[in-house]
Amino acid sequence: MTQTLAPIAPGLWTDEAEPRLIGGRRHADGQIVFPMPEGDAADGHDAVPLARTGTLWSWTIQSFRPKAPYNGPEAFEPFALGYVELPGEVILETRLTQTHSLTIGMPVELVFVPFDGNRATYAFRPVEAAA
């Protein structure tokens, strides 16, 4: 899936036909973190593109409008948040593209969703949702 909107933060994903999130591999022990650290913290890490597919590790539904300083639409719609395990890399927190038919252990894949008029953010969706 090719995306054309700019990321919500610079250096969040690669600039390739099938973009991948960018994590950081710590020099000291090889552990991967996400996102890639910035500033002085980046000195101890090498940027590493992460897998585009993983496994849903855990999830929940945000069913109520968050407190201030939430700056979203007045007509709040529930959304799913989850932890996705990218095999051999990292478990990352992410938004999920749907709130139904989610099961722990299901395969998921990276997608990009609009954030505002000219920026995008990342999310994961069930692999079967792509079919």
For residue 91, the enclosing domain spans 6-130
What is residue 66's predicted lDDT score, i.e. its pLDDT? 79
Tens-digit pLDDT profile for residues 19-50? 999 999 999 999 999 999 999 999 999 999 99
Minimum mean pLDDT range among 32-36, 67-71, 88-92, 100-104 = 67-71
Is 108 part of a structural domain of the chain? Answer: yes
Contact 44, 35 (CB under 8 A): no
Is 32 part of a structural domain of the chain? Answer: yes
CA distances 97 to 13, 72, 80, 104, Å, are 18, 17, 7, 15
Tens-digit pLDDT profile for residues 50-82? 999 999 999 999 988 878 777 777 778 899 999
Contact 19, 121 (CB under 8 A): no
* Average pLDDT in the chain: 90
Is 1 part of a structural domain of the chain? Answer: no
Burial 49-73 (b: 16+ CB within 10 A, else e): ebbbebbbbebeeeeeeeeeeeeee
98, two tokens: 């749907």
Total domain count, the chain: 1
What is residue 126's predicted lDDT score, i.e. its pLDDT? 96
- The pTM for the full model equals 0.87
